Structure 1
Amino acid sequence: MTRVLVTYSTKHGSTAEIAQAIADELREKGMDADCVDVAVASVAGFDAVVLGSAVYMGRWLHDARRFLKRHLEALSAIPFWIFSSGPTGEKAEEDLAHDTRWLEPRKVLDLAASAGLRGHIVFAGRLPVDPHGFVETSMVRSTPPDLQDARDWEGIRRWADDIASELERTGARRGGAA
């Protein structure tokens, strides 16, 4: 059975929930998927990795960037994908399509590509349930409640299905073809 690490860095939990949905879908497709925070994750013993981070002010969270750098050599030997989560509100879909900040972090993508990144996707996110500080509180107050969670659960599951299909097709296992 293919072992997949789904690891994430989150600020308010939205990215963790996306990562958990990815891991759940991979399990549904017959994979052995573990979902853990990047702070405690290791790629040892895994056949593939999915790494995700929330994006704030156009940047991945520090722990996710550090995980990628620390495990770059190991990731270059196995299939891996990354996802970013971020935009919310009425223009979330438009932001995803046209705002280049959500294609950032360019440095992260370039570094990941150098190690054989299989794919990257940006998912719309969720505003914090417990906002901290002026900026977060202002964003929550100015966004209608029905637009505060823009996550596309069906799209997230489809992406996980695509990963499972590729892993099945390539027979990705430690010591196997990848």
Structure 2
Amino acid sequence: MGKVLVAYASKHHSTAEIAEAIAAELRIQGLDADCTDVSADTVTGYDAVILGSAVYAGRWLKDAHRFLKHHRDDLVRIPFWIFSSGPVGENVEEDLAENSNWLEPHKVLDLAESIGLRGHTVFAGRMPTDPHGFIEKSMVKRTPEELRDARDWDAIRRWADDVAAALAASSGTTAAPSQH
């Protein structure tokens, strides 16, 4: 397998950190992975793409949705996956398991599936460390500090390992054994 692009849209850098962890894990698995903000706006030269976005009010960030729409003709020819990040707080696991508001937004998922999406997932997120405006500041203030970062780094690495294994299987190579 050649190069993998991990592209993301992130408002407060939490999704960027998830994307960076995915790219790092792909590299451990022996893949050549680049990680960049969707503003780089290219898939040229990549053999696979992972696209992620933060979710706010049940929606992907506009730049991520725009990237998906803009590159649909390229993505239909290569393997690609999507991920979302968002939920935090006391009941994050239940929210992920039961609350469809945290699933990839239906418009995004429908578009991605029409292009040939290989898989998708939702990761827990992190409260902004630099909240702006009344709503963000209020959310952070009302959330206990120990619940402000719900990201599960092991789950993120396992998902990246699954992607690496799928890419290895499709190219007829073997992924490196997991380090976890």
TM-score for both structures, normalised by structure 1: 0.95
Where 2:34 maps in the other structure, the secondary structure is: strand
Per-residue CA deviation, residues 23-47 of structure 1 (Å, 9 max, x unaligned), is 0000000000000000113110100
The answer on whether the counterparts of 2:15 and 2:85 sit within 8 Å (CA) in structure 1 is yes
In structure 2, runs of 5+ residues without a counterpart are 173-180
Per-residue CA deviation, residues 129-149 of structure 1 (Å, 9 max, x unaligned), is 010011111111111111000
**Distance (Å, rounded) in 1 between the aligned partners of 2:41 and 2:70:** 11
Which residue of the partner structure matches residue 94 of structure 2? 94
CA RMSD in angstroms comes to 1.2
**Distance (Å, rounded) in 2 between the aligned partners of 1:109 and 1:145:** 32
Distance 1:142 1:157, change over 3 A: same
Which residue of the partner structure matches residue 84 of structure 1? 84
In structure 1, runs of 5+ residues without a counterpart are 173-178
Where 2:136 maps in the other structure, the secondary structure is: helix
The answer on whether the counterparts of 2:8 and 2:16 sit within 8 Å (CA) in structure 1 is yes
**Distance (Å, rounded) in 2 between the aligned partners of 1:103 and 1:168:** 27
Per-residue CA deviation, residues 106-148 of structure 1 (Å, 9 max, x unaligned), is 0100000001000010000000001001111111111111100
Which residue of the partner structure matches residue 49 of structure 2? 49
Which residue of the partner structure matches residue 63 of structure 1? 63
Where 1:108 maps in the other structure, the secondary structure is: helix
Q: Which amino acid aligns with 1:41?
A: D
Where 1:109 maps in the other structure, the secondary structure is: helix
Runs of 4+ in 1 over 6 A off after TM superposition: none
Q: CA deviation at 1:99?
A: 1.0
Q: CA deviation at 1:103?
A: 1.3
Which residue of the partner structure matches residue 175 of structure 2? none
Write the mapping of 1:94-173 to structure 2, written as runs, cut at 5 A. 94-171=94-171
